[in-house]
Structure 1
Amino acid sequence: MANINKKGNLSGALGEIVFVNDGDRKYTRLRPDLVRQSERTKAASKVFGMVSSREKKFRTKLLNRLQMPAIQYLAAQHRGRLQKCITRGRNGAQQEEPQFGSPEALIGFEFNRKLKWHERTNFFPFFKGTANGALKVSLPAIKWGREIKTLPKATSALLTFTAVSVNLNSTDVPLKIVSTLTMEVGRSSENPAQEWTVPADDAPGWLLIIGMVQYSGNGLSEKRSETFSATYLWTGINRI
């Protein structure tokens, strides 16, 4: 609908014609065509919306449970990585629906790009499943300056391994901590090699193993975003 403004000029639209007042310029243009989405773009939009919604719930719960700070751009980067976990499944009506089915795409994701896990550590856990559904994690001896690389002004670090169960195919995105292993790593101590057993969990969804190292020391920055490193070390499916 076109209207007359205080200066006596037409503004707005009349049919397919749009009246434009840009300072001293006054002109008309045609109304732009509405964007028509194809079935493919509609489907992509639906998947993006689902991933965004589930990722936000997942990330919020995960950071809260692990007491991990939210780094700038983490949401967008985490959402992009989670998008790669989408596969196609079948629902009850035998129609294809997007599903979170490939957790392997999360492995190696860095929660803090400023302190990357592979640059702060120098060891590789060995993972082996058991017949009863448990997961055995073999860890080497951990020593400061060797397996855990030093950080300026840091004198020790808290190394944490957390097994998390999460179901991203549920709108509520239920998440729980299945098992946790922590160890202090300092200049004058060495943690011996050990085996950590993550018990079987019968909740549907994924089992994720997250490694995190938190540095501490006098004079070290109080901002946790500058003193921690974390990543997904292992991912698998509990039950479909």
Structure 2
Amino acid sequence: MARVTKNKLLSGAISNLVFRNVDGLQVVQSLPDKVKQTSRTKESGSEFRTCSTWAKKLRWNLSAFLMQQTDTYMYRRLTGALYHAIRNNTAMLKGTRTPLNSDTSGIVGFDFNSHSPFRENFLPELNVVLNEDRQVVVSVPELCSKEALIYPKRYYHAELLVFVTATSLQLNAPKEEAYVVFELPYAPTLQPMRHWTSPVLGEGQWVVVTAKVLFYKTDQFVAKNYVNSAAFSPAMVLFSGHT
């Protein structure tokens, strides 16, 4: 419904026309057509919202690992990456696909902090597998830390934190987690290959393995003074699958 303003101009809608006042001028526009949602668009919207819930649960499970040292848009990027991975499961119908019945390896390589990509600061390739006994096996190759890592200026100590989290995605279900820390001193000596095996994980779990490099220096008052922050914290998804 349109009305006459104090400037004797129309404001509002009449039939399929919209009247507006722009800097004292009368502007007339057509009403936009209503967007009709098809069943497919409704299903896609519902699936995206569900992926957002799963991504939120994963972020919650990783909160101690991330320590709020991510970029501002990490949560949006993670939801998008997970949604893209779920959509690749074309063998199942929309609305039935979950991280427990789909290949979620598409989120492997996801950087939690786009300001400091993990692979630009930790050069060696880590090997992560989920064995038949439902254990995560992590292998760190033989390396020389001085050449394998890009240390921040005046920092000569580093740790590689590998964190495993597993969830059934059920409401209020307990999560499973385990972690290991590998010391990476700034030194020219060659360190041998190292392995770590997690405890046995439960059946029907979505398993995500992440890694973060922690750089620090020491002084007489603080044992470890870490440089990691929201501006710099190399952290990445190493593995995503289900038991």
- In structure 1, the partner of 2:221 is none
Matching residue's letter, 2:236: T
Aligned to 2:148: 147
- SS in structure 1 of the partner of residue 178 of structure 2: strand
1:157 offset after TM fit, Å? 1.2
1:39-96 deviations in Å (ceiling 9; x for gaps): 33222222222222332332244134442512132223212211122136879xxx85
Task: For 1:231 and 1:30, locate their aligned partners in 2 and report how far apart those are by CA, in whole Å.
Answer: 49
In 1, Cα distance between equivalents of 2:210 and 2:145: 20
| Residues 59 and 22 (structure 1), Cα distance of their counterparts in 2 relative to 1, 3 Å cut | same
Q: Which has the higher contact order (CA 8 A, sep 6+)?
A: 2
- Check whether the contact 2:214–2:227 (CA below 8 A) recurs between aligned residues: no
Alpha-carbon distance in 1 for matches of 2:53, 2:132? 35
Query: TM-score with structure 2 length normalisation?
Result: 0.79
The answer to whether the 8 A contact 1:88-1:99 is kept is no
Name the CA shift for 1:235/1:19 in 2 (closer, same or farther; >3 Å). Answer: closer
Which residue is equivalent to 1:182? 181
The correspondence of residues 130-169 of structure 1 with structure 2, limited to 5 A, is 130-141=131-142, 143-168=144-169
1:17-36, Cα deviation, whole Å (9 max, x unpaired): 32222222114333222112
Matched-pair identity in %: 22
Distance 1:223 1:148 in 2: 15
Alignment-mate amino acid for residue 140 of structure 1: P
Q: Name the residue aligned to 1:236.
A: 241
The one-letter code of the counterpart of 2:103 is: S
**Matches of 1:27 and 1:232 in 2, distance apart?**
53
The amino acid across from 2:177 in the alignment is V
AA aligned to 2:179 is T
Distance 1:57 1:234, change over 3 A: closer
Cα deviation for residue 212 of structure 1 reads 0.7
Going from structure 1 to structure 2, the CA distance change for 1:173 and 1:26 (only over 3 Å counts) comes to farther
Partner of 2:127: 126
Distance 1:88 1:72, change over 3 A: same
The amino acid across from 1:121 in the alignment is F
In structure 2, the gaps of 5 or more residues are 219-224
Structural RMSD (CA): 3.1
Name the structure 2 match of 1:97: 96
Cα offset, 1:143, TM superposition:
4.0
Gaps of 5+ in 1: none
Structure 1 length-normalised TM = 0.80
Q: Deviations over 1:129-153 (max 9, x none)?
A: 5443223323334543133332222
Size of the aligned set, in residue pairs, is: 233
Matched-pair contact (CA < 8 Å) for 1:89–1:99: no
Higher strand share: 1
Taking the aligned partners of 1:42 and 1:24, their CA distance within structure 2 comes to: 42
Q: Retained in 2: the 8 A contact 1:167–1:173?
A: no
